[in-house]
A = this chain, B = another copy of it.
């Protein structure tokens, strides 16, 4: 499944009626993703759940792929929106507060859409594999990079792009681990705590002896 990097929408839903249909289809897609997973999703079931015919579904989405991609995109947009809403509060707060708030915000959304979030994991992995896509992480990485640039003075030196990349991917990985219950029964606050620590430890300047150690390490290499 999920081959073509096709058009997102076959036609833009301009009329109100059309927008309602598209919305119903996307919601149905979410429910089917949750029920059956990416591989178990069938366009027929989506159409049935959305209360439209299969033909109508194909009027708005060129293929199965676009359906899933649209759901992921919407979910990413939702998280981005939540972040943009949360950031003004902490724009000038101490860095740990800022980081924790970012992690919390994403985590809260993941908890809210727990089942969907879990169902999307294989989809993201798949999209990451395709050169055509980046699983929609780009805007999020961009946001983190701009935060890093804004706080440059408090951070260790380094390539902001790379740092943003590392931060976003490690953050997501641990969040997903928690969503999947992989860490046993770790309470949400602890997960947030750990990720905050992970990110801060990575971004903050080295404590003095850390510096010397990595100095040695660098010498070795």
Binding site for B on A (CB under 8 A): 1-2, 37, 39, 94-97, 100, 104, 118-119, 121-122, 124-126, 128-129, 131, 134, 161-163, 165-166, 169-170, 172-174, 176-177, 180-184, 186, 189-190, 193-198, 200-204, 206-211, 213-218, 220-221
Contact = CB atoms under 8 A, between A and B. Distances in A.
Given A180-B129, A183-B162, A220-B97, A214 B201 contact: no
A140 B164 CA distance: 26
A158 to B, nearest CB: 8
A194 B128 contact: no
Contacts of A216: 94, 96-97
Contacts of A121: 125, 128-129
Nearest to A40: B3
B198 A207 contact: no
Tell me what chain A mostly uses at the interface: helix, strand, loop, or mixed: helix
Contacts of A37: 129
A162 B207 contact: no
A122 B129 contact: yes
A161 to B, nearest CB: 7
B169 A174 contact: yes
Nearest to A123: B125
A131 to B, nearest CB: 8
Given A37-B129, A97-B216, A202-B197, A161 B177 contact: no
Contacts of A166: 174, 177, 183, 194-195, 198
A148 B114 CA distance: 31
B180 A128 contact: yes
B218 A209 contact: yes
20 contacts: A96-B213, A96-B217, A119-B129, A122-B126, A122-B129, A125-B125, A128-B177, A128-B182, A162-B183, A162-B194, A165-B174, A165-B182, A166-B177, A169-B174, A170-B173, A170-B174, A172-B173, A173-B174, A198-B201, A209-B214
A217 B183 contact: no
